[in-house]
Amino acid sequence: GRVAAKYYVRTFDPAPSNVEDRIGSIGVGLPEEVSHNMFNEDVCAKKNITLTTETGTIGGLPAMGMFFGMAIAPTRLVSSGSIFSMWKKHLHTACLGAVDVDELGNVNVSRRGPHISDVVGSGGFPNLVDSARHIVFVCSWAAHAHYTVDKKTGHLKILRAGKPKFLKNVGEITFCGRVALDLGKTVVYCTHVGVFQLTPRGLELIEVVPGVDVEKDILSFSKARIHVSESLRVVSPSVMNGEGYTLL
């Protein structure tokens, strides 16, 4: 959540010339942690960012968990149709979850497994990825994995590797990476082990979490081909252990 929050807030700098364009949207699941982090530091007020959800809440704090779709102290409530129209004109950045991702940056959120009961649909997801100029995906690096963080050093320790969520090909494409690049969008994927950016050659690791072995824990583990940036950075330990952590 903290890693994604850093990137989500970073996309709003430099400030757009039009105040109306400082509109962001938060999806269900792990993206909810982004709004929680922003609320704790009063980022929306300081950066003049307005958070929205597909149910039509504008402003305030998007509710979490089973209450997602509501908001605490919103400034306005409109219909889903109205919020989709607003996004088309003004949505700056969207933060969304992902079931799995492939090496071309395609994302599946609509099919969670092989059975008909696993088809959950896309909801407002297509509207969000179509409208947003910047897209931040936040998801776990692997399914059924188990991690721990050293509170002193901020290093991540992988206790159980789990099952890769970054694949050669996703089973169902809900978001198309190629189309996003063609439209000039910037797309990043924030995970437990690092941050990946979508480039014309595919997924590129641009920031790695301290304690993670790039070759062993990322390149060899992933089923998707991963490129490593020549200017690879290490995530600040404060993001991992919370010591001195700040979004601004």
Rounded distance, CA 201 to CA 16, Å?
29
Rounded distance, CA 245 to CA 144, Å?
27
Q: Are 123 and 82 in contact (CB under 8 A)?
A: no
At position 176, the amino acid (one-letter code) is C
Question: Residue 14: is the preceding peptide bond cis (ω within 30°)?
Answer: yes
Side-by-side strand order, sheet with 186-190: 76-77, 57-58, 50-52, 23-26, 91-96, 134-138, 186-190, 194-199, 202-208, 226-234
The closest alpha carbon to 171, from 129, 118, 222, belongs to: 118
Is position 54 annotated as part of the catalytic site?
A: yes
**Active site residue: 33, 54, 103, 207, which one?**
54
- Residues designated catalytic: 54
